[in-house]
Amino acid sequence: MSEHQGYYGGGGYGQPPQNPYGQGNPYQQPVPQQPGPYQQNPYQQPDPYQQNPYAQPVPPQPVPPQPVPPQPVPPQPGSPQPGSPQYAPPPQAPLQPAPARPAPTPSAPGGFPGPEPRRSRIAVLLQFTLQWIYAPLWIAALAALIALLLWAGGGGPSGPDSDAWLKVNRSFIPPRRLKAELTGRPEDWERYVAPILERRIRTAEAEYAAGGGDVAADLSRAVQVRLALRLYRGLGAAGVVRLAERHGWHGVVDSGDHDHVRLGRRFPAPAQVHAPGPQDPPAAPGTPWGPRPTRSALLLPFILVLQVVYVPVYCLLTFWAGRAEPDYWDRWGARWAVGPRAFWAELTGGAAAWDRHIRRILARDIRQDAARDKGPNRHAVAADGTFVRRIRINLATYRGAGAQQVLRIAAEHGWQLDPAYTPQPEVCVRLCRPDRATTPTATATA
């Protein structure tokens, strides 16, 4: 008798052993329901193999796209039974495990580089010692070269195109930076660069208040500050950006300049302030938009003659003094100087003389603005090539006529008050006019 007949046939070695999985063959007949919490067999799942394909022939069936589920594992003695708190189904490995890819981590927050490598202490000490010798010699050589150029009348030797050789301060290590260069610690560099950054930010914001900055299409203005690498080597551009964020500024990514860090801030468009239109009634004298008080007719000749002497002397004596107002010289010139072309208008005080003077200066500024590049330097070029021209007329040009008279004459040429700036008629009048850029191809064809 064969081995198969002994266990699975009618004869053999006696009664067939009991099936530990239940009575009968689970592939031929369903398992009877059990009393208690196990009303259904948790291992019984509907699959295409519920009936034994070896017991009776079945027609060929299409293979399902999903993989065959694993066969149920019977509970072993002493193992947790299904339904108990300790029971948990064994984890199944995924069919196609995907390898985990580590996420890239930037070198510094915001994409700005970190601290640069430290310089050699010997090189730093040597440069700090020798600079007290070569810096005076360098300055003396520059003075001699300038004197030679003046005496030669422009026919002497010419220097390189770059002005880096004129700025000896770039290779000068001040004593405040010496400690940061020697230690290389970020906290020492932060103590050194923080006052410099704060001073430059205050200067840039003062220039914005005086009308500086690049005007965007939405009439907002952006100002920028740039620091050289030698000022923040041990702190890194990321550290400088962190310091600038305390003042409301942000970093500007510039992939083409690795020796500087750029910081910027965008100011929203100014609030609209009421200003008289060109067709409105004339403003009263003494008001911001009306005629300003003129100087005495007896004093003007002395100012015209003496300004040739005291204006250069005052400029040389106060050239190195810090100014809170970037347009300080325009304000000072309107108060203490008089132009030769404005002399007759201010001396007589006639409306016709002031009108001719305003038209002459306005035409000159329009010609100078048209001669400038109309391309990317405008910073507000639309898709169709439209940009905005901008000019500024100072107080000395319209003192006796008033700022409203400037608006009237400018309106004849299509110019109007610039809404990107807060009006300051006691200082200047800013005008704008939309224009369209011409492409080089169109210009050549014309």
Which tokens sit at 169? 């301060």
Output the CA torsion sign for 345, 350, 354, 355: negative
| Helical segments of 265-394, H only | 300-317, 328-336, 340-348, 351-371
Quote the pLDDT of residue 142.
79
Across 192-207, average pLDDT: 93
Query: Do 406 and 277 contact (CB within 8 A), yes or no?
Result: no
| Average per-residue pLDDT for the chain | 76
Across 87-98, average pLDDT: 47
Which tokens sit at 17? 């052993």
How many Cα atoms sit within 13 Å of 122 on the Cβ side?
0
The identity of residue 200, as a single letter, is R
SS3 139: helix
Q: Which of 23-27, 149-153, 205-209, 421-425 has the lowest mean pLDDT?
A: 23-27
Quote the pLDDT of residue 103.
39
Rounded distance, CA 176 to CA 191, Å?
A: 9
Q: Which of 62-66, 341-345, 362-366, 393-397 has the lowest mean pLDDT?
A: 62-66
Tell me the per-residue pLDDT of 56-79, one tens digit each, with 9 for 90 and over: 555 555 555 555 555 555 545 544
Query: Do 222 and 264 contact (CB within 8 A), yes or no?
Result: yes
User: In the structure, what pLDDT confidence band is assigned to residue 257 with cuts at 50, 70 and 90?
Assistant: confident
Rounded distance, CA 142 to CA 139, Å?
A: 5
Which one-letter DSSP state was computed for residue 360? H
Query: Do 22 and 32 contact (CB within 8 A), yes or no?
Result: yes
Indicate the domain borders of the chain: 121-267, 300-441
Tell me the per-residue pLDDT of 401-436, one tens digit each, with 9 for 90 and over: 999 999 999 999 999 999 999 999 999 999 999 987
Query: Do 424 and 273 contact (CB within 8 A), yes or no?
Result: no
Query: Do 347 and 408 contact (CB within 8 A), yes or no?
Result: no
Query: Do 92 and 73 contact (CB within 8 A), yes or no?
Result: no
Query: Do 386 and 435 contact (CB within 8 A), yes or no?
Result: yes
SS3 11: coil
For 222, phi then psi, to 5°, come to -120, 135
Across 168-194, average pLDDT: 89
Q: What is the pTM of this model?
A: 0.63
Per the listing, tokens 């009575």 go with 23
